[in-house]
Structure 1
């Protein structure tokens, strides 16, 4: 793997301290990706440091019934991607600001990308 791109598997306890660290070190949030996995969801938070051409992705596995805290207090721009993960996948994210309450998209199906049983 290219040493300028890194994927770090993290725990729920590590999420906020690492998000705060990324912000303090001037990393830019470039994307949040949700994926359905057997146990629930995989959330990938990708950050870029432009002047160094580096990218770091923090990858977190979240149980289907687990709730994660929004990172919008630290990265306000995360609100669209967090609303998308909540609406399309059913990821339980608390305190998204602003929270579109599953009305970001005009869709008929609830959590269409959530793993079906």
Structure 2
């Protein structure tokens, strides 16, 4: 039996409707990963159901703000706080926003610099 494992590029306008659809269809959020790209960030939101996994891949400009998914998936607050604090991703309306106090780190947004 084959299992689904996809990475699906998505636009900002498609993002929240897709997240809501995943929730309504019984998918759980598995991980949120931030990665630095030349003009901003690549955000990967992975969702699992049974043995299937689908990852939404969203490219976010350095000064662009994205909406938190914590209103749909409350447990996403830790990973969103991590992306904001370590990478500098601008995520608005995180339910349980730690305001850059999740980690004890020596410098602000240590993974933000361009590599």
TM-score range, shorter chain: over 0.9
Q: Distance in 2 between matches of 1:5 and 1:81?
A: 21
- Given that 1:37 and 1:115 are in contact with CA atoms closer than 8 Å, whether structure 2 keeps it comes out as no
1:105 positional shift: 0.1
Q: Distance in 2 between matches of 1:102 and 1:116?
A: 20
- Given that 2:6 and 2:53 are in contact with CA atoms closer than 8 Å, whether structure 1 keeps it comes out as yes
Give the aligned partner of residue 66 of structure 2: 68
- How many corresponding residue pairs? 114
- Given that 2:35 and 2:42 are in contact with CA atoms closer than 8 Å, whether structure 1 keeps it comes out as yes
1:37 positional shift: 0.3
- Given that 2:41 and 2:61 are in contact with CA atoms closer than 8 Å, whether structure 1 keeps it comes out as yes
1:3 positional shift: 5.6
Gapped runs of 5+ residues in structure 2? none
1:87 to 80, 85, 88: 85
Per-residue deviation, residues 62-86 of structure 1 (Å, max 9, x unmatched): 0000000100000000000000000
| 1:106 alignment partner, SS class | coil
1:39 positional shift: 1.1
Gapped runs of 5+ residues in structure 1? none
Provide TM-score, normalisation by structure 1. 0.94
Give the aligned partner of residue 48 of structure 2: 48
Q: CA RMSD in A?
A: 1.2
Give the aligned partner of residue 6 of structure 1: 6
Structure 1 segments (4+ residues) deviating >2 Å: none
| 2:79 alignment partner, SS class | helix
